[in-house]
A and B are shown apart, each in its own frame.
Chain A
């Protein structure tokens, strides 16, 4: 029974499309601005196309090695963190999904406790300092590699796999390590893919730990480089207006900022289709189960 489209349907669709537009347009405008000349931006900032396309901003950020270096640092962090985290989380998740083994409850509490109580930033800072890891990418890669929330997601997924699989593998002489890697992990591909993508996105977006632990700007991930570039803009607010003050610069600085934003966004845009494929599953397992 196909219902007729009513006025209510149209109003709802219109409201939802309008909301979609308010989300979409700032991104679109950002991309446009990155290709604009200053004159064009000042004349018509709210536009839908660029009349006079210029690649100056991109040329400038590529020739200044700050941004390529930041990009590389971010890539190193993601490439180091993701496999490490996925392995830690899935091995621990497998073990904790076994229903009965000695010390299980104690170990479970051991993992849950830090989610309730943390030391705060100073103790963490001093720890990293004492480990001699200040001004390196190591704390960014290692901290949180054993992500407890992701571990719980994996644990719950493994929990749902029938025990008979484990039992038959055991009869065939497989030990827990083999069962985990060769039987359970291949079966848990959807959740592992979700977690892998979460790892990539979270680390790509990470800025606070690098801000605390890395003072040498050469080691900065892209997010912090971007933050510095935007920060210059924010400080100018005190004197009112950003763009006017920057007249006379060789390349229009607003477009440089927006080009940097675009460069920082591109990797997320690349993984976004995959994220979309998996995240609904991920959030349903994670949130609905609690």
Chain B
């Protein structure tokens, strides 16, 4: 009797789990296609990372290629151009954060001050439109617009200034990247802040008005502090993006004359893999792995900050 009882208690958890698994069978069925897709397209490629420790031979494939240990990494780490590109990437990302990050906040603050909702609606339509276009389209537009015979230079020469070959000057390339990035993204970026502003208690403004606060005082002492959490959150997200940001833009706006100035890891990896005659898959995989690891660390740091600021991880999206 006692033994039987013991056996039962031993088996219950197992049977219970089995029962729950069975009860959730339709959930698993719903998940199955997604799990399979992620397995094939997100997890299977991870196997290819072994290439970073092998000498790739196309004839032998990934599996057959001989192991070489850390040789490939040594080659990457001692490659001076790799380090140039690496620091250049970080430098450019920091420039982006410094100059483009504050713009959506300014747009949102000013936008919020507009009195006519009709004007707000029209302007928002215009502001957010470029966000939905690819950098290929936008680079086409800008190459035309900034051409030596293009509209912008026509304005300059009408104002008595000299014409400039905008996309053919090394010193001008990064400023142009930053400005066009603001042009494309500031309007879209402002929506998040506008959503945060919409959530501010109107009584705060009324109280401030009674105390005689003017527009700017209300902006700086009520609106800005109220959206500070949102600002922090988005800044943290930027840190997570430090390495692979703005690839689309740089890749498409760039041309051989200015390419060197804005050579970032993404562009560099593409170039040495698909455009160089002596492409070395092992080397490129090692570069990719190196950046993936750094990305992972940055995202983890961002996640920790995000949990502190908002109580939610960067990528989990709550709950």
CB distance from A149 to the nearest CB of B (A): 8
CB distance from A192 to the nearest CB of B (A): 15
CB distance from A267 to the nearest CB of B (A): 10
* Cα–Cα, bound, A116→B241 (Å): 11
* Cα–Cα, bound, A242→B318 (Å): 51
A143 CB contacts on chain B under 8 angstroms:
41
- The reply on B85 being an interface residue by CB < 8 A is no
The answer on a CB contact under 8 Å between B128 and A13 is no
- The reply on A15 being an interface residue by CB < 8 A is yes
Q: A23-B187, A119-B288, A142-B37 are in contact. Are A237 and B257 (CB under 8 A)?
A: yes
The answer on a CB contact under 8 Å between B140 and A260 is yes
**Nearest 7 CB-CB pairings of A with B:** A120-B288, A123-B48, A176-B26, A205-B134, A119-B45, A92-B34, A114-B42
CB distance from A288 to the nearest CB of B (A): 6
The answer on a CB contact under 8 Å between B113 and A116 is no
Q: Which residues 109-138 of A have a CB within 8 angstroms of B?
A: 110-112, 114-127
- The reply on A234 being an interface residue by CB < 8 A is yes
Residues of A at under 8 Å CB distance from B? 5, 8-9, 12-13, 15-17, 19-20, 22-27, 29-30, 33, 41-42, 44-47, 88-89, 91-92, 94-96, 98, 101-103, 107, 110-112, 114-127, 142-146, 148, 151-153, 155-156, 159, 175-177, 180, 201, 205-208, 212, 223-224, 226-227, 229-230, 233-235, 237-238, 240-244, 254, 257-258, 260-261, 264-265, 268, 272, 275-276, 279-280, 283-284, 286-290
The answer on a CB contact under 8 Å between B192 and A5 is no
- The reply on B274 being an interface residue by CB < 8 A is yes
> Which range holds the interface residue count of chain B?
35 or more
CB distance from A237 to the nearest CB of B (A): 5
The answer on a CB contact under 8 Å between A230 and B143 is yes
B292 CB contacts on chain A under 8 angstroms:
117-120
B20 CB contacts on chain A under 8 angstroms:
101-102
B204 CB contacts on chain A under 8 angstroms:
none
* Cα–Cα, bound, A280→B215 (Å): 26
A selection of 20 A-B contacts at a CB cut-off of 8 Å is A12-B110, A20-B122, A23-B187, A98-B27, A116-B296, A119-B292, A121-B273, A121-B284, A122-B48, A126-B45, A127-B40, A142-B41, A146-B33, A156-B317, A176-B30, A212-B274, A235-B255, A240-B148, A268-B133, A290-B310
* Cα–Cα, bound, A142→B248 (Å): 21
Q: A127-B45, A156-B319 are in contact. Are A16 and B114 (CB under 8 A)?
A: yes
Q: A22-B183, A237-B165, A238-B168 are in contact. Are A114 and B38 (CB under 8 A)?
A: yes
CB distance from A145 to the nearest CB of B (A): 6
The answer on a CB contact under 8 Å between A258 and B136 is no
A206 CB contacts on chain B under 8 angstroms:
134
Chain A CB within 10 A, most for which of B139, B140, B158, B196: B140
Chain B CB within 10 A, most for which of A124, A146, A242: A146
Chain B CB within 10 A, most for which of A120, A208, A257, A260: A120
The answer on a CB contact under 8 Å between A45 and B149 is yes
CB distance from B215 to the nearest CB of A (A): 6
- The reply on B57 being an interface residue by CB < 8 A is no
- The reply on B81 being an interface residue by CB < 8 A is no
The answer on a CB contact under 8 Å between A23 and B38 is no
* Cα–Cα, bound, A13→B192 (Å): 21
CB distance from B93 to the nearest CB of A (A): 18
